[in-house]
Structure 1
């Protein structure tokens, strides 16, 4: 009787172990090349400052995200990059300098899993951008921006599974991001950056 119980227990443990071995890991890492397409809308008219419209220059940046799947459908994604140089230019003076921005985002996603290897998703979350180099000198004086920006982020994307671990990824996000622009310490307007990001990359689930 005891032998049957031991054998049954060993069989149950073996079956459970096999099931865990074949279950997908809850962790996924993606690496993307992302184009930052700034909205560049000004909340205030900057013409009276003699610099014209202020805008940020579009650019490509690297991006890494770490995702944790609570269920096959629900995941949280932390989007990271290193501090990025953002060129600031004006319609009157051209490029007048640059600031550095660190824009991590945290999103909650819903993944659609009924389409086989093709797995689209949508996400909603927050962005917190830290401007680490906030000011620069121009012929008109010192131009500076606020220390940080906080806003919502929305996302659509899709993974295409190549095998158990690797996948291809496409991703688009809209991020609320704005900052006050100051000249010599006095506010001359607000720069509504609000970028749309378009990214392509690869994912690895482990």
Structure 2
């Protein structure tokens, strides 16, 4: 909840700024663009810690195991409030992309070999971003590069365990249950450029980096008794590079 509150503070400031009624020298106050984002996680496995039952002693840390997210694509929408000719405050939202999660290494003394699965599951991510941006050059320049930074709130939802993992674990008498991936707040930095097609229409492209990581928890339960055999925890490093290409209009 605290993370969510912190993420909303810039959004509240963004909304409040409309009261100033600032605009560019050409009278525009809002720029909206829609386009396609390609998301490329750069993180690597971070190891897995396991605990007997849900309250028992911890077993030796397994540094060779872990989880990584694969690339994904989604439609993205950007809204920028133009404070003046160069400064803008923005909000980025998109259709929540689904990421395949690849497992690495062996767990439970080799009983669960994550390497043999193309993925262990998938998860949907809701990740709005509030931004501040500085655009170089004059309003009437054809090409205008920009730099910016912001804050992302990432919510992980609808995790689904892959059917191949379900079948493999069932054949060995246990199941993976209660998978939870924590929400996270992460800083964002980006560079890009707008190309003015007309006074109001423009094309835009950007590259962003998000310093994002989270933590996951799961239970391994006995199919015979339903008891929790092992609780596993792992940091998931994501750190995506995001490319965006879109078309926009200034109002």
TM-score range, shorter chain: 0.7 to 0.9
Which structure would you say has the larger Rg? 1
Residue 196 of structure 1 corresponds to which residue in structure 2?
241
The two structures, once aligned, show a CA RMSD in angstroms of 2.6
Alignment of 1:157 onto 2:182: no
Residue 39 of structure 2 corresponds to which residue in structure 1?
36
Higher mean alpha-carbon deviation, 80-89 vs 108-117, is at 108-117
Following TM superposition, by how much is the alpha carbon of 1:49 offset from its aligned partner in structure 2, in angstroms?
6.2
Alignment of 1:56 onto 2:83: no
CA contact (8 A) 1:136 1:143 kept: no
Deviations 1:50-73 (A, max 9, x none): 993411110211100100011111
Higher strand share: 1
| Alignment of structure 1 residues 1-20 onto 2, 5 Å | none
Residue 13 of structure 1 corresponds to which residue in structure 2?
none
Residue 90 of structure 2 corresponds to which residue in structure 1?
77
Higher mean alpha-carbon deviation, 175-184 vs 193-202, is at 175-184
Measured at CA, do residues 25 and 107 of structure 1 come closer, stay the same or move farther in structure 2, by a change above 3 Å?
same
Alignment of 1:107 onto 2:131: yes
Following TM superposition, by how much is the alpha carbon of 1:84 offset from its aligned partner in structure 2, in angstroms?
1.9
CA contact (8 A) 2:46 2:67 kept: no
Deviations 1:27-64 (A, max 9, x none): 00011211100012233357966993411110211100
Consecutive unaligned residues of structure 2, counting only runs of 5 or more, are 1-22, 50-59, 105-114, 170-174, 221-230
CA contact (8 A) 2:78 2:90 kept: yes
TM-score (norm 1): 0.80
Residue 205 of structure 1 corresponds to which residue in structure 2?
250
TM-score (norm 2): 0.67
1:121 to 146, 152, 158: 146
Q: Matches of 2:98 and 2:122 in 1, distance apart?
A: 6
Q: Matches of 2:137 and 2:193 in 1, distance apart?
A: 11
| Alignment of structure 1 residues 76-95 onto 2, 5 Å | 76-91=89-104, 92=115, 93-95=117-119
Q: Matches of 1:189 and 1:104 in 2, distance apart?
A: 24
